[in-house]
Amino acid sequence: MARTYPALDLRWPSEPVTDVVDRTLAEIDAASPLAVEECPDGVRVFFLSVAQRDQAAALLTGAGPPPACTSIEVPDEDWAARSQAALDSVTIDRIVVAPPWARRALQPGEIEVIVLPSMGFGTGHHASTRLCLRLLQREPAGRGTRVVDVGTGSGVLALAAAKLGVRRTVGIDSDPDALEAAAENVKLNGLEKAVELGVLDLAAASERLPERFDIVLANLTGAVLIRHARILATITAATGCLIVSGVERHEVDAVRAALRGAGLREADRLDEDGWVGMTFRTNPIQSTER
């Protein structure tokens, strides 16, 4: 039986402007939506659990006149079929992320990461994923580097790290479905010997992971980064770095403060479409204080 995902259909009397949709999505961000699909008169928002969907519906009631809101269940195949028709390859500096049907000839120096779209798991088309990939490429990822991708989803960040030549790449996620998608993508890229996947909640990472990592990738949400700042610092090697994304602009100060309190300092930052990615170091040569 195909997996279904809880979703909210949000509809306005007429096609909403971008700012209205963005404000509405910001209202429900605390419920951790997985994905958003645009519709002619609104959006469909997907969640990992019914509880998160219900939380999102409740959040809409406190911020003025909400859109019409309908709770539904959507088969994963329906979403995948629609997305497959629309998704093309996306280029992030040297890295080309492509579904199997949209591969293109690579330019000299480019690296290809093949990813099958699946509900809620990154394909490189979201700004937060692109920010992580850009910041990752700024690091000297030689073969001695150890990388962990926290909340790996599709595995796109772990796969990119492996293709950049790191010695050891680990992807962890608390969702077995995410790891199933990641494992399929590992095979598509021929990286079974280079990328290790495991079911692990971030809350237990400092006890369960046997080592510290030179690069920790955490494309999560601002709230999760704040809540687990000390754990993220703990799994980062003494001379390593933590790359975070999934942070909205209004969350930057709080995320920075939490990670500073855990002993890290901001060293790099990129912004795109209202999202922010940052690099933190445990022993930065030059830190950026803003």
For the residues 110-118, what does the mean pLDDT come to?
86
Identity of the amino acid at 287: S
Instruction: Flag whether pLDDT at 10 surpasses 60.
Output: yes
In which band, very low, low, confident or very high, does the pLDDT at 40 lie, cut at 50, 70 and 90?
Answer: confident
Instruction: Flag whether pLDDT at 65 surpasses 90.
Output: no
Task: Name which of 37-41, 133-137, 140-144, 272-276 the model is least confident about.
Answer: 140-144
- Write down the pLDDT at residue 104: 87
All domains in the chain, ordered by first residue: 4-82 (3.30.70.260), 101-281 (3.40.50.150)
In terms of Cα–Cα distance, which of 111, 86, 77, 109 is closest to 99? 86
Percent of the chain at pLDDT > 70 equals 84
Distance CA 48, CA 52 (A): 7
pTM summary value = 0.75
- Write down the pLDDT at residue 290: 39
Instruction: Flag whether pLDDT at 46 surpasses 90.
Output: no
Q: Which residue has the tokens 């306005």?
A: 12
**Buried-exposed string 220-242: b where 16+ CB fall within 10 A, e elsewhere:** bbbbbbbebbebbbbbbbeebbb
CA triple 6-57-225, angle to 5 deg: 80
Signed CA dihedral, 288, 258, 142, 110: sign only: negative
Residue 132 phi, psi dihedral angles, 5° rounding: -60, -45
Highest mean pLDDT among 46-55, 70-79, 169-178, 242-251: 242-251
Distance CA 234, CA 101 (A): 40
Cβ contacts of 107 within 8 Å, gap of 6 or more: none
Which class for 86: exposed (0-12), middle (13-18), buried (19 or more C-beta within 10 A)?
A: exposed
- Write down the pLDDT at residue 128: 87
Cβ contacts of 205 within 8 Å, gap of 6 or more: 150, 172, 231, 234, 235
Identity of the amino acid at 224: V
In which band, very low, low, confident or very high, does the pLDDT at 89 lie, cut at 50, 70 and 90?
Answer: confident
Task: Name which of 7-16, 198-207, 232-241 the model is least confident about.
Answer: 7-16
Q: Are 39 and 68 in contact (CB under 8 A)?
A: no
Q: Pick the residue with more confidence: 253 or 42?
A: 253
